[in-house]
Structure 1
Amino acid sequence: MSESGYVTPATISPTAHYTGYVWARHGLSHSALVTSEGRTLFHLLRPAAAIGGALGAPYIESVLMTRHRLIDLKLSEAIESGRITQIVEIAAGLSPRGWQFSQRYADRLTYIEADLPGMALRKREALARIGPLAPNHRVVDLDALADEGPESLAALVATLDTTQGLAIITEGLLNYFTEDVVRGIWQRFARALAPFARGYYWADLHLSTETRGPGVMTFIKLLSIFVKGRVSLHFTSAEQARAALLKSGFGEASLLDPRDFNTQLVGIPHGVSGHVRIIEASATTPA
């Protein structure tokens, strides 16, 4: 990680491999999206994760499954209500969501997975092993920190239909950057969504007030091992994070507590995690 907070592909990729394995392990993904790196990491870290759980830390599998399924739930509701017809998933890694949603919603949805070139290439290769991509599904190179240029979000959304709704998703990304970089990312996302008829943003976030105690610190250290650097907890409360989102240009913002969705999130290993929140923000609609 550089002083600016930029996380290199080499440091982020371990989490992509690990989460890819966890999703497949629990039936949420395709075996083609599982890597040997992810399987090895999971088994190497399993004893440490169990110790952390015994000390009161959130189980990593519970956190990963909770955030993934709650984002899926909110996306499905938005698609089925007709509010969005386009999705850009940034830092998509080995997530199965693009493959699943483009199959499930067919011609009702355009799904774009975006990542740094190395990971995007690996994702295209993995998806090719499953079969041809649906016409509404593509994987592109994108740098979430770029304000302009061919690999910027601005260039990507310029190719989409502004008369339709657009959702931007990030999962497992924000806590690996400094607060200044996160605020810059949010400003970029708010600007990108503003021209669309409806614009939404969903992402996971950890709050510092919900990550206290010896067991939870073990959890944070495990996350830090994944990215070979410090995991940043930028905000102490949901209200503080909400204020930062509004200041970044979103018209509305809230942080969802997964425990409020217990009935929809059944079957998560070790129960629904209260140690992660899901950002739900919407852009200011153009006048």
Structure 2
Amino acid sequence: MATDRISPTAHYTGYTWFHNGLSHPSLATAQGRVMYHGLRPLNAVSRRLGTPTLEGVLLARHRSIDAQLEAAIESGAVSQVIEIAAGLSPRGWDFARRYGDRITYIEADLPDMAAHKRRLLVRAHLASANHRVVELDALAESGPRSLAQLADSLDPTKGVAIITEGLINYFPTDAVLGMWRRFATTLRRFPTGLYLSDLHLKADNRGIGVAAFMRLLSTFVRGSVYLHFESAQAASRALADAGFEQGVARIPDAVRSADGSLDKRGARMVRVVRAETST
């Protein structure tokens, strides 16, 4: 399968994780390497000017989600994970490697991306019994590629986490609210339900420098970047309306990149959502 049917963000983020020591070389593509190094001069200028960098945003959200998922697994609350639109993220491979048969990790993606990810894992001998990649349409209410049907394959006696990283802000608000309702409905089928995601808010993304960054991001992803909610409080209300019992959207800690830089402005541009359900 040609990789031109995979989004540019998947290639870029995949290489960003690898460059910063978070991923396996087999999950870093040649296209991602070209894109990453092509954007390095722009990121360097942004750092000198004190404006946010794409790398800073990506690292902050990724490590925050990792930390919260780690805590949920270590506590025993979660032992099954569904990551929707994982792309070339190393998280599934990494968590399956670290936790072994303590967890079941499912990456759920569109057909082209799922097939490409499976092939990479097999070729690099990274595939494992507790980690699988399946096809899923995040917008489907029912049917063979729906979240509801995927959840039927899980153990109803064990806690589940759903993760969306780099997905929500590329859909209009109505689509996001529909996804959140489906996520909450699915998670309520299990003793513990945890939803983790990144989210950009209007209140965090104002100013000339930030506006320029958002325009660049829209060009980079070849589409619109939506800011659905004015504030964290508005996002929490929407999560409650969707069926979550608790929902917060917090600013993640900045993460130092491989070159030693710490992009606090980038970290403040993104929130990490944590929402919970219980039976």
Runs of 4+ in 1 over 6 A off after TM superposition: 9-12
Match of 1:126 in 2: 120
Q: Deviations over 1:247-286 (max 9, x none)?
A: 1111110112214xx6xx5667424411111000012x23
Q: How many matched pairs?
A: 273
The 1-side partners of 2:11 and 2:179 are apart by 23
Q: Which amino acid is 1:164 matched to?
A: K
Q: Which amino acid is 1:280 matched to?
A: R
Match of 2:73 in 1: 79
Residue 68 (1) aligns with residue 50 (2)? no
Q: Deviations over 1:57-92 (max 9, x none)?
A: 311111111111110000000000000000000001
Unaligned runs of 5+ in 2: none
Matched residues, percent identical?
52
**Distance verdict in 2 for CA 1:189–1:204, change over 3 Å:** same
2:110 to 112, 116, 130: 116
**Distance verdict in 2 for CA 1:201–1:12, change over 3 Å:** farther
Q: Is the 1:52–1:216 Cα contact (8 Å) retained in structure 2? A: no
Q: CA deviation at 1:45?
A: 2.6
Match of 2:159 in 1: 165
The 2-side partners of 1:51 and 1:211 are apart by 19
Match of 2:140 in 1: 146
Q: Is the 2:256–2:262 Cα contact (8 Å) retained in structure 1? A: no
The 10-residue stretch of structure 1 (206-215 or 190-199) with the greater mean CA deviation from structure 2: 206-215
1:270 to 234, 253, 262: 262
Q: Which amino acid is 1:168 matched to?
A: I
Residue 208 (1) aligns with residue 202 (2)? yes
The 2-side partners of 1:122 and 1:282 are apart by 32
Match of 1:192 in 2: 186
Q: Deviations over 1:151-182 (max 9, x none)?
A: 11000001101111000001011110111111
**Distance verdict in 2 for CA 1:125–1:269, change over 3 Å:** farther
The 2-side partners of 1:97 and 1:277 are apart by 19
The 2-side partners of 1:187 and 1:58 are apart by 32
The 2-side partners of 1:278 and 1:200 are apart by 13
Q: CA deviation at 1:226?
A: 2.1
Residue 88 (1) aligns with residue 82 (2)? yes
Match of 2:249 in 1: 255
Match of 1:281 in 2: 275
The 2-side partners of 1:12 and 1:174 are apart by 17
Unaligned runs of 5+ in 1: 1-8
TM-score (norm 2): 0.93
